[in-house]
A and B are shown apart, each in its own frame.
Chain A
């Protein structure tokens, strides 16, 4: 804990609402000089809203914000850097084909007689780079360096605006372990210079590696601020999820699981399947008639696992066996040929085709498999679509309604219908219930279990542990892009999963 510096930034009672959502409510936050402060919370906890209010992108509704004791509120994000608050966003905001030096000074190049003074520019850039013990040629294009270096260049750019506060939003999400370590070295150096760092990440391990203080938000409200050493991992997860382990253990025991393992035939077996930078090599077995759950926090590698299995990302190592035969799935098309189906996490950009009708959206996957010249007759299309509209209770005015006009839950059902229509043997559902109402959610959960009992192999990914527990026969728990442990049967309870997420398989 660092009490050596005074409060650089002090926020009290901050509130911010959007129509229909209270994104922040009465939140306090303090950042001290020479402190690395992690801001934690699940999706929708209000982390990004807090940052956006801080940097002037949103206007606060209520509360006070003090910068070194003086109240402030920026009217636009351009003002924040001028007052010493610099932000580095998740995606590197650099111009790839400009040099490192140009990127650092873009928009504020040193000038001489109205022209850019290249000599000073490059010399200054070199010094700035050296200050962080970085040995790179500043006259090379940024794109010639690795993601980590690019991330560091973005930080140098932010720091060069005489920053006293540095906000890092998920800076490590595209970095590997060595690169992350390098970034952390730089952060420690900055810390020793008295800069206050606000650090947002989903990687639990990293929080304990680097930060001094943790503030947890949940549903727009402050859960608490603790020094790192006083907050064990398990308690942090409890704070983030809003449940205590003890209460869960009791609840779990009461509900007896109706876990009848289906036929034992293994449909899919992954052996050391992995891809550098996205997923550590993992082993995974998925049996027919069984729901395999993937649990883990956001960014733990759940979606990455699905993408590897479905051939969207090519595996760089390991083997995949389907019905005990070794197969290489390097495109979704090949996966589909083996009767795979995938309901992707990002419904809007990867799932539905908004401009097309409900009917077209549902029959497309089946049509793609049967080929261009075997067009399903309008009659058959109608019959299939009718069947699934009834089965999933999709609320659409007609088969010809544009999918873009449906509600989120109904759009999700359309995607599920699309894959059911293609009659898959293995269905991957990545967050199928996100953002849909309780009723639709229960229906989809029920459907998942029914499908598996009918002999389908299902891989079910969800952030909500209750859902996984309710549906899955076995659960693989992921943490920091690794499958750390697999549990089955009576072992599947929330407290156990949370412990595994926190401590790996040591328990």
Chain B
């Protein structure tokens, strides 16, 4: 008989314990030292407060880390998500103000929202198709294959904006980054919707287990007739689509397309979120874990900012926390520590 409580015996839930502990630690720290951290108020029927802010600001990272989780599970990685965010935003802004880069200040006809959203997302899918084809059919190492678009994609985004920051006003589109639905900020709603879709796609169909099989043992999967290539392409396309949505959120939120900075280094945050969340490279994945990971990163950033620490140091803090969580998650490290403590005990 095991003494572990039943929820710990379930492999998936057991994995979430450590990331949850880390997230709780950050929240408890804020509870003690940051006044008003837990204060949530309703203004004009909309939710406001630090916690809501963390969720809202963290939406792009959460979205991208959902896609990244699946890519990770197939044994790959997608470095191009930051660039896809920039492209998606640049295209949206370009559709709203096509002549802005030529120096025309006036707006033309108001672009229909369906175009402003649809075309960037379509291009994002094409970007994902490119990544997926390189990885699955040409056999390029995922890190190299997506590095191509990581570098080139930001260039493409800058070509679209011609290096300018394209500012715009477009009421319906601004709703995506700054609006509220049932009192909840729209980015949070989008994250929730993506989560539901991902759950249905991976766990209600056989896609999830196929992804895990491909990642955990490609050869055995081939011998079982699983279509690894098709699934890989689909997963890279899904990841790029998530990045495209994140790009729209960021662009809509700042009411501008900044090809230089939109989504910069976001791929690293997303990868960190996935690893903190407990998805191993190739095999079992947990989207919930990645969301917790993304929340850890975002709440850390928010905490640092509210504590008045210089934002330049944020990255150092992030690094320290990521190292700690990754170490705690490592079975080997835990055994090492346990062994060390036992030795001390024995020495007494």
A369 to B224, CA, bound (A): 8
Decide: A364 near B223, CB < 8 A? Known: A372-B205, A375-B206: no
9-residue interface stretch from B38-46, B212-220, B260-268, B323-331: B212-220
Q: Give the residues from 200 to 259 in chain B that come closer than 8 angstroms, CB to CB, to chain A.
A: 204-207, 209-210, 212-213, 216-217, 219-227, 231
Residues of A near B224 (CB, < 8 A) are: 332, 336, 364-365, 368, 418
Pick the residue among A332, A336, A360 that contacts B209 (CB under 8 A).
A360
B51 CB to nearest chain A CB (Å): 35
- Shortest A149–chain B CB gap in Å is 25
Report Cα–Cα, A54/B227, bound state, in Å: 46
Which chain B residues border A351 with CB–CB below 8 Å?
220, 223
**Cα-based distance from A312 to B220 in the complex (angstroms):** 11
Q: Are B216 and A344 in contact (CB under 8 A)?
A: no
Q: Which of A296-350 contact B (CB under 8 A)?
A: 310, 312, 331-333, 335-337, 342, 344, 349-350
B283 at the interface (CB under 8 A from A): yes
**Chain B residues whose C-beta falls within 8 Å of the C-beta of A372 in the assembled complex:** 205-207, 210, 231
B97: chain A residues within 8 A (beta carbon): none
Q: Is the CB of B220 within 8 A of A367?
A: no
Instruction: Contact check, A352 vs B220: say whether CB atoms are below 8 A apart.
Output: yes
Most buried by A among B209, B223, B227: B223
A439 at interface, CB cutoff 8 A: no
Contact of A375 among B204, B213, B223 (CB under 8 A): B204
Judge whether B222 and A332 touch: CB under 8 Å.
yes
Interchain CA distance A324-B212 in the complex, whole Å: 38
Instruction: Please tell me if the beta carbons of A368 and B226 are within 8 angstroms of each other in the complex.
Output: yes
A332 touches B217 (CB 8 A): no
Is the CB of B284 closer than 8 A to any CB of chain A? Answer: yes
> Closest residue of chain B to A370, judged by CB?
B206
Say whether A333 contacts B219, CB under 8 Å. Answer: no
**Smallest distance from the beta carbon of A432 to chain B beta carbons, Å?**
14
Q: What chain B residues lie within 8 Å of A18 (beta carbons)? A: none
Q: How many A-B residue pairs have CB under 8 A?
A: 82
Inter-chain contact A364/B284, CB cutoff 8 Å: no
Q: Which residues of A contact B210 (CB under 8 A)?
A: 367-368, 372
Neighbour of A350 across the interface among B206, B220, B226, B280, CB < 8 A: B220
Q: Interface code A349-386, partner B: CB below 8 Å = 1, 0 otherwise?
A: 11111111000100011011111111110000000000
CB neighbours (8 Å) of A360 from chain B are 209, 212-213
Cross-chain contact A367 with B212 (CB below 8 angstroms): no
Residue of A337, A356, A418 with highest tally of chain B CB at under 10 A? A356
Task: Using C-beta atoms within 8 Å of the partner chain, give the interface range for chain A.
Answer: 20 to 34
Contact in complex: B205, A333 (CB < 8 Å): no
Residues of chain A within 8 A (CB-CB) of B223 are 310, 312, 332, 342, 344, 350-351
Contacts of B283 in A (CB 8 A): 355-356
| Minimum C-beta distance from A177 to chain B (A) | 29
B266 CB to nearest chain A CB (Å): 29
Binary contact readout A221-256 vs B (1 if CB under 8 angstroms, 0 otherwise): 000000000000000000000000000000000000
Given contacts A350-B219, A350-B220, A353-B217, contact A365 B206 (CB under 8 A): no
**Across the two chains, which residue of chain A brings its CB closest to B282?**
A355
Q: Chain B nearest CB: distance from A360 CB in Å?
A: 6
Q: Which of chain A's residues has its CB closest to B226's CB?
A: A368
Provide the A103-114 mask, 1 if CB < 8 A to any CB of B, else 0. Answer: 000000000000
| Distance A245 CA – B107 CA, assembled complex (angstroms) | 96
State the Cβ distance, A222 to closest chain B Cβ, in Å.
37
* Cβ distance A128 to chain B, nearest Cβ, rounded Å: 35
Distance in angstroms between the alpha carbons of A353 and B223 in the assembled complex: 12
Question: CA A374 – CA B206 in complex, angstroms?
Answer: 7
Q: How far is the CA of A355 from the CA of B280 in the complex (A)?
A: 11
Residue of A nearest to B214 (CB): A353
Interface residue ranges of A270-301 to B (CB < 8 Å): none
Cα–Cα, bound, A473→B213 (Å): 36
CB contacts (< 8 Å) of A355 on chain B: these are 212, 216, 280, 283-284
Residue of B nearest to A375 (CB): B206
Q: Give the complex CA separation of A119 and B72 in angstroms.
A: 48
A151 smallest CB distance to B (angstroms):
26
Interface string of B300-313 (1 = CB under 8 A from A): 00000000000000
A332-B223, A332-B224, A336-B225 known; A353+B213 contact, CB < 8 A: yes
- A353-B220, A354-B216, A355-B284 known; A333 and B227 CB under 8 Å? yes
Cross-chain contact A356 with B205 (CB below 8 angstroms):
no
Look across to chain A and name the residue whose beta carbon is closest to the beta carbon of B222.
Answer: A332
Q: B213 touching A365 by the CB < 8 A rule? A: no
Q: How far is the CA of A61 from the CA of B33 in the complex (A)?
A: 64
Contact, CB under 8 Å: B206 / A356: no
- Expressed in whole angstroms, the Cα–Cα distance for A353 and B209 within the complex equals 11
Instruction: Please indicate the chain A residues that have their CB under 8 angstroms from the CB of B204 in the complex.
Output: 375
Residues of A with C-beta under 8 A to B11 = 400, 402
8 contacts between A and B (CB under 8 A): A332-B223, A332-B225, A335-B225, A342-B223, A356-B213, A368-B224, A369-B225, A373-B206
- 10 closest A-B pairs by beta carbon, nearest first, are A333-B225, A336-B225, A353-B217, A355-B283, A375-B206, A365-B224, A355-B216, A368-B226, A368-B225, A353-B216
Binding site for A on B (CB under 8 A): 11, 204-207, 209-210, 212-213, 216-217, 219-227, 231, 280, 283-284
- 6 additional A-B pairs beyond A349-B217, A355-B283, beta carbons within 8 Å, are A332-B223, A350-B217, A350-B220, A356-B284, A365-B224, A375-B204
